[in-house]
Chains A and B, each alone.
Chain A
Amino acid sequence: MSHTSLTTTPVDAQGAGGGGALPRGRRFGAETVFRGAATAAGSMVLVIIVAIAIFLIVKAIPSLRADHESFFTYQQWFADSSPAKFGIAAIAFGTVLTSALALLMAVPVALGIALCLTHYAHRRVASVLGFFVDLLAAVPSVVFGLWGRDYFYRPVSDFAKWLHDNFGWIPLFGSNGPYGRSILLGSIVLAIMVLPIVTSLSREVFLQTPTQNEEAALALGATKWEMIRTAVLPYGRPGIIAAVMLGLGRALGETIALALTLGAVYNVSFDLLGPGGNTIAANIALKFGEANPTGRSALIASGLVLFAITLVVNMTARAIVYRRREFTGGAA
């Protein structure tokens, strides 16, 4: 960086070094303008989050006034008929159920991959494998949805049939078909989609484990797995919890893949195998096309609930991360 390019401001006759009396600081100079612009841009984030809440509330109110059923306990969605009858009981339940199932499947696998990348695989192999995980994150959700609905349903249907044949006495697996778009299919696809985020966050957590603690465990005669259980996992626990919560936030908001793989049925049911399942986000995508003004407002109302849930989940997760950061002294 050459010095001349930095001092392009026209300088008094005395030259850049100056002379004479020291100039006074200007109150409304470029510095103030720039600082103000930066502060405003930074504050945009806060403005947007508040604006999301305000505008969703404003546009949700008309439909909530028009709703002839209880918004929180009614299971059906007839927002476009008159009188309008709709409630989020079924779709909110479906949102939580699919997300929970997806995390149940994704978290152990994600932790396994993260451990593999940090502690098992050869370093060069690990960087290639890590790249594949990043690729998984880059695939758009509509592609996963299409793949899940048109191809992945086959092995899942086989699996569903097998589950029913062998464990049909468990109510979860009670349905005897047809096996196609179901909560099982939706939550497995969702699990694949949240896998990369949980993996990459827990990988960072595991990388932070102090080497000296790992060596201490090994020097006590621990096997590799015992070393991981003694030194790596306890140290990473808050970070793992945060990663899981962030994955949960992602799962709760996923729209298109679930709109394509769930059965879009409005009921509260634990039947995982049969046609069924719906979520707040998927319902918005599915119903928006033919919605009238009340219907649109009703969808916005359900979106407000989703926003509130994900906000709480994300804020909790971030609060954990921030507390941990203070605890470990600013690293990461």
Chain B
Amino acid sequence: MAKRIEAVNVSAYYGSFRAIDNITMAIEPKSVTALIGPSGCGKSTFLRSINRMHEVLPGAKVGGQLLIDGQNIYDRDIDVTAVRRMIGMVFQRPNPFPTMSIYENVVAGLRLNGVRKKSLLDAACEKALRGANLWNEVKDRLNRPGAGLSGGQQQRLCIARTIAVEPQVVLMDEPCSALDPISTLAIEDLIAELKNEYTIVIVTHNMQQAARVSDRTGFFSIDKTGEPGRLIEYDDTAKIFTNPSVKRTEDYITGRFG
């Protein structure tokens, strides 16, 4: 059920500032793609333009085409909410709804879609929590506030919330940057499992993480501050980290990047 993503000349703007310029790349279904690069290079902006979350910010807009199985999600008659349901997103900081219990957090997306039947919600909740490797830790306290969990658990709760609506693609924006090493490991294991069902795109600052979890890696960079971010190199992860074809990629990966 995973989908293929194809970006064709995608540019994104904040007001008149062009944050990314002419990104063209294809992301295969049921794979993990990592986006790496220095701060401000536009990798998160590109990620957010894949599920039309970029335009949520005031003055932000996107140009170019983003095709999901050949369908451009920026066409006029596209239902934005359907796009976001099909392409789920996990954010940098764990963001469970603070007023909701663990259970309510997981089924929030389903309730938005009009699922009311308790038995369906219960089943979906268990499935999503198991899928996020969280079920055993929280099954006895589903009615406790989601904000009471540890940081790593909260992030897995957010992943459960995302996969509960059974999307095709899961986008992750530096999902481990606010977590300790053990929680990070748990999330990385989870990503490896999720790959069997979903197309996953992950933005990360951590190159070891990119090397560990991803099949393909895209390297983004900017020429200087104020210039738009560009996709410098996109290839199999193994190749990027052992034998990159562009000098700048090599500089960045070996830490010689200024």
Contact = CB atoms under 8 A, between A and B. Distances in A.
Contact of B88 (A212, A220, A234): A220
A269 interface: no
Looking at chain A's contact residues, is the secondary structure mostly helix, strand, loop, or mixed?
helix
A215 interface: yes
Interface residues of B, number: 27
Interface in A59-82: none
B93 A237 contact: no
B84 A219 contact: yes
A231 B96 CA distance: 10
A218 B84 contact: yes
A3 to B, nearest CB: 38
A221 B53 contact: no
Max chain B C-beta neighbours (<10 A), residue from A123, A212, A237:
A212
A231 B112 CA distance: 12
Contacts of A147: none
Interface in A234-285: 234-235, 237
Interface stretch (A99-107, A222-230, A302-310): A222-230
Contacts of B84: 218-221
B99 A221 contact: no
A328 to B, nearest CB: 9
B119 to A, nearest CB: 21
Given A219-B88, A220-B109, A221-B165, A234 B97 contact: yes
B1 to A, nearest CB: 16
Given A123-B58, A226-B112, A230-B112, A219 B97 contact: no
B85 interface: yes
Nearest to B51: A219
Interface in B236-257: none
A36 interface: no
B121 to A, nearest CB: 14
Contacts of A231: 97
A146 B143 CA distance: 55
Given A222-B112, A230-B108, A216 B95 contact: yes
Nearest to B81: A221
B162 interface: yes
A210 interface: yes
27 contacts: A123-B58, A210-B95, A212-B93, A212-B95, A213-B95, A213-B98, A215-B53, A215-B89, A215-B95, A216-B161, A218-B84, A219-B53, A219-B91, A220-B108, A220-B112, A221-B81, A221-B84, A221-B85, A221-B109, A221-B113, A222-B112, A223-B81, A226-B112, A235-B97, A235-B98, A235-B99, A237-B99
Interface of B: 51, 53, 56, 58, 81-85, 88-89, 91, 93, 95-100, 108-109, 112-113, 158, 161-162, 165
Interface of A: 122-123, 210, 212-213, 215-223, 226, 230-231, 234-235, 237
Given A216-B91, A220-B88, A234-B97, 15 more contacts: A213-B98, A216-B96, A218-B53, A218-B84, A219-B89, A220-B109, A220-B165, A221-B82, A221-B84, A221-B85, A221-B109, A222-B112, A226-B112, A234-B99, A235-B97
